[in-house]
Amino acid sequence: MALFELPTAAAQRPTWSVAALLLAAGDALAARLGAVAVRGEISGFSRPGSGHCYFALKDADGAAALLRCAMFRRAAALLEFSPRDGQQVELRGRLGLYEPRGELQLVVEAMRPLGAGSLYEEFLRLRARLEQQGLFDAARKRPVPPMPRRVAVVTSPTAAAWHDVMSAFQRRAPQVELVLVPSLVQGQDAPLALVAALQRAEQLAAVDTVLLVRGGGSLEDLWAFNDERVVRAVAACRLPLICGVGHESDVTLADLAADLRAPTPTAAAELAAPEREALQRDLSQRALGLRRAVQRQLERQAQRLDTAALRMGPALAAVSTQQERLQGLATRLATALRAQVPRRHDELQQRAQRLHRSVRAPLDMARARLLAQADRLQSLDPHAVLRRGFVWVEDQRARPVVSVTALQPQDQVRAVWADGAAQVRIEHIELANREAGPT
């Protein structure tokens, strides 16, 4: 029998279309199981604008089992809490097949929390420990440069986040240079790769800001950004760092340690550089405001100048009059000086001559008296007397001997002539009346 040869009519079974087979299987599941209750750990939770919730439920005991779940807006509106990845929940709903993808799916009618999952519990424990160590303190966070020139982007070169960042910068700030620092962003090797990429970004020249970005995903997909090594590398980065990981609802420990958190990679790019058109508008407004301020100041100063000119009108007229008077007086003074100078010069010469004569006569008289006195002093000079043949006699104590009565025979005296002196011994004394003393 050929491979696809049909069996006999008695054994024939219908051939299903794909849609019919999936519909029949879904009906069988619904009939067999109906409404079910299941517990597990949420993974990959998302809630788009439609209000429907989509996620996967992992086995809470760690078994390799995964169930796709959908919770439509009507049921989601009755939730009294916000579901999140890693949370343990109990679901009630209907098990069926999602025909477009042929996947088993649980349509959730009700959900209640049971507690945090193991991965989320680890997230909370690590967050508390790092927060206690001060890695998330607002005081250590640095401001992001408002006008960067070069930005390093740490992400996967094949990820949508890199293209989102490039598109945002091209749209908002094309003048900023982007430098891609490639790294793994998911998987066991991602933490070490991210740490090395951050260190390389720090060493790049002239980089103002670092962006650490990745698209959305489940808690497991984003777990590399909760790794303690990555969180400490983010906190120790020497450059201002903006972290944009996941979607709006995704919060990682790297977000908390960064200088600035962005809800998405695109938002991180927008926070890193202001829009060029907005800067140009702001600059134009500032320039217009400056021109208006300068114009107002010029107008105020012109009004003050006009007011001052009006107030100074009479004073200026008086000043002009005084200037004319001063000019006339200056002319008269110059004319008077030109007439007075020759006459004053003659008078001064005459006075000088009279002064000379009045001073010369007393000087001549004083000179004559001085000469007469000099002659008298010359005649009384002892040396002049000695030059006429007289002798000066003095005793041993240099006292003049003015009388022979002061001498005794054998006395030693000193005789001084005009040209010298001699020691003399008295032999005998003769008085003027010729009385002789002993010899």
Higher pLDDT, 122 or 262: 262
- The architecture in CATH of the region 18-116 reads Beta Barrel (2.40)
Checking if the pLDDT of 9 tops 70, the result is no
Contact 420, 389 (CB under 8 A): no
Higher pLDDT, 289 or 6: 289
How much is the mean pLDDT over the chain? 85
Contact 70, 29 (CB under 8 A): no
User: Would you state the pLDDT for residue 394?
Assistant: 84
Cα–Cα distance between 198 and 205 in angstroms, integer? 14
CATH topology of domain 147-273: Rossmann fold (3.40.50)
Domain coordinates of the chain in residue numbers? 18-116, 147-273, 275-309, 379-439
pTM of the shown model = 0.48
- pLDDT digits 0-9 by tens, 205-256: 999 999 999 988 777 788 999 999 999 999 999 999 999 998 877 789 999 9
Mean pLDDT of 63-88: 88
The closest of 283, 274, 118, 144 to 209, measured between CA atoms, is 144
- pLDDT digits 0-9 by tens, 172-214: 889 899 999 999 999 899 999 999 999 999 999 999 999 999 9
Cα angle 236-239-243, degrees, rounded to a multiple of 5: 80
User: Would you state the pLDDT for residue 434?
Assistant: 54
Confidence grade of residue 3 (pLDDT, cut at 50, 70, 90): very low
The closest of 130, 198, 167, 142 to 269, measured between CA atoms, is 167
* Cα four-point dihedral sign 55, 59, 64, 68: negative
Checking if the pLDDT of 281 tops 50, the result is yes
Higher pLDDT, 63 or 239: 239
Residue 249 tokens, joined: 């609802």
Higher pLDDT, 411 or 157: 157
Residue 167 tokens, joined: 């598109």
Checking if the pLDDT of 439 tops 50, the result is no
Mean pLDDT of 330-341: 81
Cα–Cα distance between 198 and 239 in angstroms, integer? 10
| Residue 50 vs residues 40, 94, 237, 249, 367: alpha-carbon distances, Å | 25, 21, 40, 16, 138
* End-to-end Cα separation, the chain, in angstroms: 207
